[in-house]
Amino acid sequence: MSLKPNAKPVLEVKDLQTYFKTDAGIVKAVDGVSFTIHEGETLGIVGESGSGKSVTNLSIMRLIPSPPGKIVGGQVLFEGEDILKLSEAEMRNIRGDKISMIFQDPMTSLNPFLRISTQMIETIRLHNPGVTKKEALERSIEMLKLVGIPSPERRINSYPHQFSGGMRQRVMIAQALSCDAQVLLADEPTTALDVTIQAQILELIAKLNAQMGTAVILVTHDLGVVAGMCDKVCVMYAGRIVETASTEELYAKPSHPYTEGLIKSVPRMDTAKKNERLFSIEGQPPNVIDLPPCCPFHPRCQKAMEVCRHAYPPVKDLGNAHEVSCWLYLDEKTKEQALQDATLQEKA
Ligand code: SF4
């Protein structure tokens, strides 16, 4: 779980904006998201449903359904090249080969009518045309073994429905990593599984990350999962990143009131008192259609000030690679200026 010294950045997301056009207005699902992930690093993207974390991953893979969705701005640099500028044919070579994705429900990416062997061999040969069928089969068996499928030589000839949910998830991870992808996007990879299987799958992803140096972006709503797996964390709210820090720093000094609420709502075995009610953040996430220029968390925030209701907070660097977007960390002069500007704009 620790980043190697001199690890190279493998993926840089800069000011990514993905909008959806709906009859009710424009949904700014991802609005100015930026982060960098290095080889061998695990980044957690955390937030409630609708915060934009899954759309961020789908945008990186360029799998946004269009229409109604569109990546309207920003860059996604893979090894320095902006993959948002690639043709669809060029993007197909990146997808699966260099950047792979595992989804919440394995059945969405496994074909129920084809044997696992057929699907894995096809994936490997699609990205490595020089590989023979025999070599692809051997590689597939090796990957199934790596992810802990018992008797892989025999099980590879099964159909997806002949596996349990946890085993299907392992097959999907094996398939996603069979082409030695450098970045693995895991979107709530354990949500559909029971707790013991969840732990096994997360352990497996961590093992592969350590063994193969794969950079992992883990999308989850569960800060407990992040604590055990990630090097750093981006907390998302209403389409934007509101706080970024190393996992250790985020738990030690959560700075955004939303992050504080998320951490408080994780059940703790060590400090919980008998019959104590679990903390929950009051209110609902905002409707992200045509959001006004304010802190979208203000209706739920107990520390909200006047400026929070009129202007979006800029990013404040707290040092130690810790950044937060919250007016609590800006000086009085900056707040007054923002309030004056907002009042003028509202009058205009
Ligand atoms: Fe709360 Fe204001 Fe910070 Fe938003 S900017 S989280 S409303 S204090």
Q: Which residue's structure tokens are 């062997």?
A: 117
pLDDT single digits (tens) 74-126: 999 998 899 999 999 899 888 878 898 887 776 667 888 999 999 999 888 88
Mean predicted confidence (pLDDT) in 203-212 = 81
Percent of the chain with pLDDT over 70: 93
CA 106 to centroid of ligand 1, rounded, Å:
38
Please state the atom number of ligand 1 nearest to the C-alpha of residue 309: 7
Task: Classify residue 240: in a domain, yes or no.
Answer: no
Name, in order, each residue with C-beta under 8 angstroms of 26's C-beta and a sequence gap of 6 or more: 19, 20, 289, 290
Picking from 135, 159, 180, the residue at the C-terminal end of a domain is 180
Separation in Å, CA 239 to CA 9, 130, 149, 166, 274: 24, 42, 38, 31, 37
Structural domain boundaries enclosing 276: 259-347
Q: How far is the CA of 261 from the centre of ligand 1 (A)?
A: 12
What pLDDT score does 106 carry?
A: 64
Q: Which of 236, 240, 255, 256 is the pocket-test mutation for ligand 1 (most atoms within 8 Å of CB)?
A: 256
Residue 301 has pLDDT above 90, yes or no: yes
Which residue among 241, 297, 316 is best mutated to probe the pocket of ligand 1, counting the most ligand atoms within 8 A of its Cβ?
297
The last residue of one of the domains, among 134, 161, 180, is 180
Q: Is the CB of 311 under 6 A from ligand 1?
A: no
Residue 84 falls inside a structural domain: no
In a domain, 125, yes or no: yes
Residue 314 C-alpha to ligand 1 middle, in angstroms? 11
Question: d(Cα 40, Cα 9) in Å, to the nearest integer?
Answer: 10
> Does ligand 1 lie within 6 Å of residue 238's CB atom?
no
Number of folded domains in the chain? 2
**Which of the residue ranges 29-33, 173-177, 269-273 has the most confident prediction, judged by mean pLDDT?**
29-33
Domain boundary among 154, 180, 206: 180
Q: Is 288 contained in some domain?
A: yes
State what percent of residues in the chain have pLDDT above 90.
50
Structure tokens at 227: 């604590």
Report whether residue 298 contacts ligand 1, using a CB cutoff of 6 Å.
Answer: yes
What number is the average pLDDT over the span 128-138?
Answer: 90
Is residue 334 a part of any domain in this protein?
A: yes
Question: Which residue has the CA at smallest separation from atom 1 of ligand 1?
Answer: 304
> What's the distance, Cα to Cα, between the start and end of the chain in Å?
51
What pLDDT is recorded for position 5? 57
Average pLDDT value for residue range 223-235: 88
**Residue of 282, 301, 302, 331 with the most ligand 1 atoms within 8 Å of its CB, for mutation:** 301
Residue 88, domain member (yes or no)? no
What pLDDT shows up at residue 288?
80
Q: Does residue 18 have a pLDDT over 80?
A: yes
Cα 328 to middle of ligand 1, angstroms: 7
Is 129 among the domain residues?
yes
In a domain, 143, yes or no: yes
User: Mean pLDDT over residues 222-228, rounded?
Assistant: 83
Considering the entire predicted model, what is its pTM? 0.86
Confidence of residue 71 (pLDDT cuts 50, 70, 90): very high
Q: How far is CA 34 from CA 42, 113, 123, 185, in A?
A: 16, 39, 31, 16
Distances (CA, A) of 193 to 15, 140, 172, 212: 34, 24, 14, 25
- Of the listed ranges 16-30, 189-203, 326-340, the least confidently predicted one is 189-203
**Could you tell which of 242, 307, 326 is best to mutate to test the pocket of ligand 1, judged by most ligand atoms within 8 Å of the CB?**
326
- What pLDDT does 192 receive? 64
Is ligand 1 within 6 A of the CB of residue 261? Answer: no
How many angstroms does the Cα of residue 339 sit away from the middle of ligand 1? 14
CA of 265 to the centre of ligand 1 (A): 18
